Amino acid sequence: MSRHKPHNDDQKILHIEEEILRETRETREIAQETHREVEELERRLRPKRLTKSIAISFSGASTMNTLTLNVGQSSIGTITPLAADGVTPSGGTVSAASFSIPTDPSFGAVDNGDGTVTVTGLAASTSPVTGTASCTVTDTDGAVSTFTQTFTITVAGGPPPPPPATTTSIGVSFSTPV
């Protein structure tokens, strides 16, 4: 039985194959490390969302997300994007605003189509009514987020407040004596 002795060419081919495999492993490792570095750069460069929440601001209301009207009063609700403290406006731009308010005999609500809603008290509420507002906020750094916020409307039973007085004083005028 004769044993096959590798030829010099066979040894060269084996050596070349081993070198190719080693270079392939090194290339794969370099590609994986490059991929990790690119992901880290993307994470660092990604815009940070300035807006953390939204609130509904009603004209004439002292708190956000809550409105109490008297019969006959109206208020305009506006979506306000807020920074992380939940108080400071973030400066983001609101778009695609929509309001979902259940039908209730105590008030009328009209979506003004400009990102605001007008609510008018019609009759005393039997209980508060909860609605929701949804929108997209684009922050000044380009980050885009969507938000939903609930709010509560109550109509007090009192009559509408009297209109503001337009006469603030009177004067007396005398004619020249005859």
**Does residue 84 sit within a domain?**
yes
- pLDDT at residue 62 in the model: 87
Q: Does residue 99 lie within any of the structural domains?
A: yes
pLDDT number for residue 107: 93
Per-residue model confidence (pLDDT) at position 42: 83
- Residue 3 belongs to some domain of the structure: no
| pLDDT for the residue numbered 177 | 75
Determine, yes or no, domain membership for 98: yes
User: Does any domain span residue 170?
Assistant: no
Three-state secondary structure readout of the chain = CCCCCCCHHHHHHHHHHHHHHHHHHHHHHHHHHHHHHHHHHHHHHCCCCCCCEEEEEECCCCCCCEEEEECCCEEEEEEEEECCCCCCECCCEEEEEEEECCCCCCEEEEECCCCEEEEEECCCCCCCEEEEEEEEEECCCCCEEEEEEEEEEEEECCCCCCCCCCCCCCCCCCCCCC
In a domain, 100, yes or no: yes
Give the count of domains, the chain: 1
Q: Does residue 129 sit within a domain?
A: yes
pLDDT of residue 165: 64
List per-block mean pLDDT (blocks of 10 residues) for the chain, which spans 178 residues. 64 88 91 92 76 94 92 94 91 94 92 93 92 94 92 81 63 71
State residue 158's pLDDT score. 62
Residue 78, domain extent: 53-156
Quick check: is 149 in a domain?
yes
Whole-number pLDDT of residue 11: 86
Indicate whether this model's pTM tops 0.95.
no
The CATH number that applies at residue 132 is: 2.60.40.1080
